[in-house]
Amino acid sequence: MSLFKTFIETDIFGFGEIEAKKRDEEEIPDDDQPIRPFSVAWMMDVLARKKIGGRVKASHAFLDQVTWGEGKVGSVRVKLTPNIAVFIERAVDDVQGQRTWVCKKVFKPNLKEYAGREEVVANDVFKEVEKLYDTKIDTATEEHDYLINLVKRMAARLKAVAPEIFVFQDVKEINQNYYVIYFSLKGVGVGKLATKGRRVTQTPEATIDVNFNKERGLIHVILTTVTIGGEGDDWQLDIPYLDAFYAPSQNKDEIIDTVITALKYL
C-alpha cells in the first residue's frame, strides 16, 4: 500500500488533517540532539535515479526539476517551488505547436515528519509519476465553452475549503475568457510580513486569475497576493504561488485541486 497519504494532507488536494506515519521509537532523536532538516537534494537525487517501466530514464539538468521522456509530448516532470511545494507536470503542445508543461498535481510534503526519510517521499512521488505517464495526453484547443463553469466551480470549492484566515469576496468577469476570484484576509495583522528593511507589511488580498489564452489554446491560472505597506501608502503584487497552464481537456476538479493546495500553503 502506498504511503503517499502519510506525508501530505489526508485528502491529497484538500484540507484533511495530516496523518504522518509514526516513527519507531529508535528513530526519535533525544531532546538534546539537533533535528535533521528535510533534504530536498536527496529526494530529487533519488527520483533522478528511477526509470519508468525500467526503461524511461530521468534527466536532472536543474536541481529543482526531474524529467522523464526527454521533454517530448507526454513527458512528465517533477518541479519544486521555493516553498517546497511539489508540482507534477506533463508536456503538451499548444495550438501553435509550442511545447508547454501543464500542471497535473500539486502537493506539499510534510517536511518535518519525513526529515531523514526522503526516499519514502521520493518513492511515493514516483508512483504518481508512473501513473501519469501511462494516461491519455491532454490537448490544447482553439475554442472552449466551459471557462465560466470552471470558475464557478472553482470559486465554490475554494470558498468551502479555504483556510480560516481567508474570506471569499467576489468573482469578477474581465471578459468571457478572463475571470478573477478574490479573497481577503481576516483581522488586523494577519499575514504580516517583514521586508529587508524590517518594515512590517501586510498581505490583505489573494487573487486567482483564470484566463483562457486563445492564442495558445490553454488555460492559465495565477494565484498571487497583494502586499501593502504598514502605513497603507503603497502596494505591490507578490511573487505568484501558482503560475500554471492547463489543457482544456483536463478534468475540472483536477485543475481546481491544484489551486486549492496552492492556496492552502500561501
Residue 175 amino acid letter: N
Supply 180's cell numbers: 478573477
Going from N- to C-terminal start, the domains of the chain cover 4-133, 147-264
Residues 6+ apart with CB under 8 A from 174: 180
Residue 17: pLDDT over 70? no
Find the mean pLDDT for residues 57-78.
Answer: 95
**Cell matching residue 83:** 516553498
Task: Report residue 5: phi and psi, to 5°.
Answer: -85, 5
Written as nine digits, the cell of 85 is 511545494
Which has more pLDDT, 1 or 172? 172
The Cα 150–Cα 178 span in angstroms is 11
**Angle of helix 40-48 relative to helix 118-133, nearest 10 degrees?**
40
pLDDT of residue 189: 43
- Contact of 219 with 208, CB cutoff 8 Å: no
- Comparing CA positions, the residue from 266, 261, 221, 244 lying closest to residue 11 is 261
Give me the mean pLDDT over the 34-43 stretch: 85
For 107-166, write each residue's pLDDT tens digit.
Answer: 888 888 999 999 999 999 999 999 999 999 999 999 888 899 999 999 999 999 998 888
Q: Which cell is 19 given?
A: 496523518
227 is written with which cell numbers? 502586499
Answer whether residue 96 shows pLDDT above 70. yes
| Averaged pLDDT for residues 221-226 | 89
- Which residue is associated with the grid cell 470552471? 150
Mean pLDDT on 246-258? 96
Average pLDDT score over residue span 20-27: 36
DSSP string, 185-204: E-SSSTT-EE-TT--EEEEE
Distance, in Å, from the CA atom of 108 to the CA atom of 163, rounded to the nearest integer, reads: 15
Task: Express each pLDDT in 178-215 by its tens digit.
Answer: 999 999 877 644 444 333 443 445 557 889 999 999 99
